[in-house]
A and B are shown apart, each in its own frame.
Chain A
Amino acid sequence: MPARLQGETAARSPAPRALASVAAPRAGRAYRTRSLAAKIALIPTILVMVGCYYASVTWTVYISMTRSFLLPVYRFAGIAQYERLFATPRWQVAYGNMFLFGALDIIGTLCLGVLLAVLLDRAVRFEGIFRTLLLYPLSISFIVTGLTWQWVLSPTIGVQQFVRGLGWEGFVFDWITQPDRAIYTLVFAGIWHQSGLIMAIMLAGLRGVDREIWRAARVEGIPTWRTYISIVLPMLRPLIVTCVVLIAIAVVKSYDLVVAMTNGGPGFSSDLPGKFVVDFEFERANIGQASAAATVMLGSVVAIISPYLYFELARKNR
């Protein structure tokens, strides 16, 4: 037992045993001074992290609990801003839209992404071409994506006009100009932009599945589609959860897409929290309301990631 321990230490330190006893104190000091350089190198990062992130978050959250309007006021006022915020019709729409858009976007993107991953996992030929075509939207900005879909869905130049030109004169597809439908058009663009990411993540997962499982399923005579639904995809549940978390966070953060596609309109029918905050902060200069809305966004992200991080860490520590 001691022999093995000794062997291990010898193996771990590259210096010969004889030298080690002499060199140990010096190496120890050198080690400390050198890691001092590492500590100094970390100072800017820590300053940015604490100053720009944690202190700023605290600042915003605190402002949301004051009566700040045009300028920040620092006297504590409890939840007055939140009461006002949730009584504001525009916020009610924006907040509700986040859940509506979020639910549809998560379901749509996840289903399409997983379907594509399975299809590509099966299709051996031309995989490179398919991958290239499915992933390119990811490289395009949300601004270009939003403008493109705005043009495609615009009743005067897009799909509606095209179908009418084919001879079906009464065809109507004007969701993007309808207050109660505009939010759904964002889902098209969201799915188009994000499915590739889910496909890439899931495809990597599918490729990592043990070949023995497939062989066993084939021996048992289980059809391929059944193997996916009942065995392979449930095995990848942690990965699917990660995907859902990723899309959900993107939904809470989304801003550019709605700005380029509908600009929150018609009226404020397709508004989202991200746009509400920026508009209230920089156009209406209502810092109190903007901070309260931003804090709600932060709360939504925390509600999404804290259970996720908790389980992820628990899983990794096991």
Chain B
Amino acid sequence: MTTARRHARIGRIGLYTLLVWICLFFSIPLLVVISTSLKTSDEVRTFSIFTLPTAPSIAAWIKAWSSACTGLNCGGVRVGFWNSVRILVPSVAISVLAGAITGYALSHWRIRGANMIMLLLLICAFIPYQVILYPLVKTFSTIGIYSSLPCIIAVHVIFGLPVMSLLFRNFYVGLPEELVKAARIDGAGFWRIFVFVMLPMSVNILIVATILQTTGIWNDYLLGLIFAGRDNMPMTVQLNAIATTSTGIIEYNVNTAAALLTALPPLLIYFLSGRYFVRGITAGAVKG
């Protein structure tokens, strides 16, 4: 009995040790980037990024935010930050709402072919962006909005639609049908039921969808690069441009600070929202 208990104890110690090591592997890149961003330019040039800063300063953060250069533009990542915000807010609002309406219409209204539409939408969620980039670029140029804010917002709504619809449909299917029926008997129509019965019950799923879209759109690179145009370049695109500029001495402290500033909004959402984030990520995993 005692040997068995000792074995169990050794097992548990081994288990926690392994977990701690793996957690270190996961956290080291973030710690390294944070520590480098707090260094002075001299320190960055002479030591590896694994050493701790001797005199931590936020000078690099200030420079990254307000005066880091992308080519000849030296406005810092705040330019990209505000571009990303301008893209993010309408894109998230429209795509979440569109997904909610589609999911609702496909769940309680017994439309013929609803399952077929769902299957076709599901397939859309798997299609790589690259396959439809060129037709979309052509179409948007023909309409005359290519490389503009409306263009990038429309693109985010298009690419968010399949996953958002699936997410809401799966949620609404789980709600009791009597709710809609009772409202219908009371004379409420499609939109009234949506606004007064369904939406108030969807707070959780709305949070999950909003978090999923917010992190997804904030972290997007390819769509922003192609559809946003020079004036609306999102933060990820600007960050990559700053970090890969190879003229002069590379200021790793500024680059790491810029990377952290870019990663900060989704990280904050993650740390503040915890389980909602995980639910969204697992539900929207197909989006990749």
In Å, the complex CA distance between A200 and B275 comes to 11
A253 touches B129 (CB 8 A): yes
Q: A139-B266, A143-B240, A147-B255 are in contact. Are A297 and B131 (CB under 8 A)?
A: yes
B278 touches A136 (CB 8 A): no
Which residues of chain B have C-beta atoms less than 8 A from A35's C-beta?
109-111, 190
Which residues of chain A have C-beta atoms less than 8 A from B51's C-beta?
162, 165
Name the residue on A nearest B132 (C-beta).
A56
A132 touches B271 (CB 8 A): yes
B48 touches A162 (CB 8 A): yes
Q: Contact partner of B48 among A132, A165, A301, CB < 8 A?
A: A165
A57 touches B127 (CB 8 A): yes
Which residues of chain B have C-beta atoms less than 8 A from A122's C-beta?
15
Among B29-37, B57-65, B68-76, B201-209, the stretch that binds chain A is B29-37
Which residues of chain A have C-beta atoms less than 8 A from B101's C-beta?
41
B121, chain A: closest CB distance, angstroms: 6
B19 touches A297 (CB 8 A): no
Which residues of chain A have C-beta atoms less than 8 A from B117's C-beta?
42, 45-46, 49
In Å, the complex CA distance between A142 and B223 comes to 13
Among A174-182, A210-218, A256-264, the stretch that binds chain B is A256-264
A119 touches B15 (CB 8 A): yes
B26 touches A298 (CB 8 A): no
For chain A, the count of residues having a C-beta within 8 Å of the partner chain is: 92
- B263 interfacial by beta-carbon distance below 8 Å: yes
Name the residue on A nearest B27 (C-beta).
A133
A123 touches B15 (CB 8 A): yes
In Å, the complex CA distance between A60 and B134 comes to 7
Q: A132-B271, A141-B262, A200-B281 are in contact. Are A158 and B222 (CB under 8 A)?
A: no
B134 touches A63 (CB 8 A): yes
B37, chain A: closest CB distance, angstroms: 11
Name the residue on A nearest B36 (C-beta).
A151
Q: Contact partner of A57 among B132, B218, B277, CB < 8 A?
A: B132
- A77 interfacial by beta-carbon distance below 8 Å: no
A301 touches B158 (CB 8 A): no
Q: Contact partner of B270 among A136, A141, A147, A287, CB < 8 A?
A: A136
- B23 interfacial by beta-carbon distance below 8 Å: yes
Most buried by A among B49, B255, B262: B49
- B50 interfacial by beta-carbon distance below 8 Å: yes
In Å, the complex CA distance between A164 and B236 comes to 33
Which residues of chain B have C-beta atoms less than 8 A from A116's C-beta?
19, 22
For chain B, the count of residues having a C-beta within 8 Å of the partner chain is: 92
- A79 interfacial by beta-carbon distance below 8 Å: no
A157 touches B236 (CB 8 A): no
Which residues of chain B have C-beta atoms less than 8 A from A135's C-beta?
270, 277-278, 281
Which residues of chain B have C-beta atoms less than 8 A from A41's C-beta?
101-102, 105, 190
State which residues 72-126 of B face A: CB under 8 Å: 98, 101-102, 105-106, 109-111, 117, 120-124, 126
- A65 interfacial by beta-carbon distance below 8 Å: no
B278 touches A140 (CB 8 A): no
Q: Contact partner of A45 among B15, B102, B128, B182, CB < 8 A?
A: B102
Name the residue on A nearest B120 (C-beta).
A49
B87, chain A: closest CB distance, angstroms: 14
- A209 interfacial by beta-carbon distance below 8 Å: no
State which residues 162-179 of B face A: CB under 8 Å: 162, 165, 178
Name the residue on A nearest B50 (C-beta).
A162
- A114 interfacial by beta-carbon distance below 8 Å: no
Q: Give chain A's interface secondary structure class.
A: helix
Name the residue on A nearest B188 (C-beta).
A34
In Å, the complex CA distance between A45 and B32 comes to 45
User: Would you mind naming 29 contact pairs between A and B with Cβ atoms under 8 Å apart?
Assistant: A13-B181, A34-B189, A45-B117, A45-B161, A55-B135, A56-B131, A59-B135, A60-B132, A63-B134, A136-B267, A139-B266, A139-B270, A141-B218, A141-B262, A147-B243, A152-B28, A157-B252, A159-B48, A161-B49, A165-B48, A165-B51, A197-B282, A200-B281, A255-B130, A259-B221, A278-B222, A281-B134, A297-B128, A301-B126
Binding site for A on B (CB under 8 A): 11-12, 15-16, 18-19, 22-23, 25-30, 32-33, 36, 44, 47-51, 98, 101-102, 105-106, 109-111, 117, 120-124, 126-136, 139, 158, 161-162, 165, 178, 181-182, 184-185, 189-191, 215, 218-222, 226, 236, 239-240, 243-244, 252, 255-256, 259, 262-263, 266-267, 269-271, 274, 277-278, 281-282, 285-286, 288
Top 9 nearest A-B pairs (CB, nearest first) are: A141-B219, A37-B190, A56-B135, A139-B270, A38-B109, A161-B48, A56-B132, A162-B48, A162-B50
Further 15 A-B residue pairs, CB within 8 A, beyond A45-B165, A159-B50, A192-B26: A49-B162, A52-B139, A63-B134, A132-B271, A139-B277, A141-B219, A151-B36, A249-B288, A274-B128, A277-B133, A278-B130, A278-B222, A294-B128, A301-B128, A309-B122
Binding site for B on A (CB under 8 A): 13-15, 30-31, 34-35, 37-39, 41-42, 44-46, 48-49, 52-57, 59-60, 63, 112, 116, 119-120, 122-123, 130, 132-144, 147-149, 151-152, 157-159, 161-162, 164-165, 192, 196-197, 200-201, 204, 224, 246, 249-250, 252-253, 255-256, 259-260, 263, 273-274, 277-278, 281-282, 287, 290-291, 293-295, 297-298, 301, 305, 309
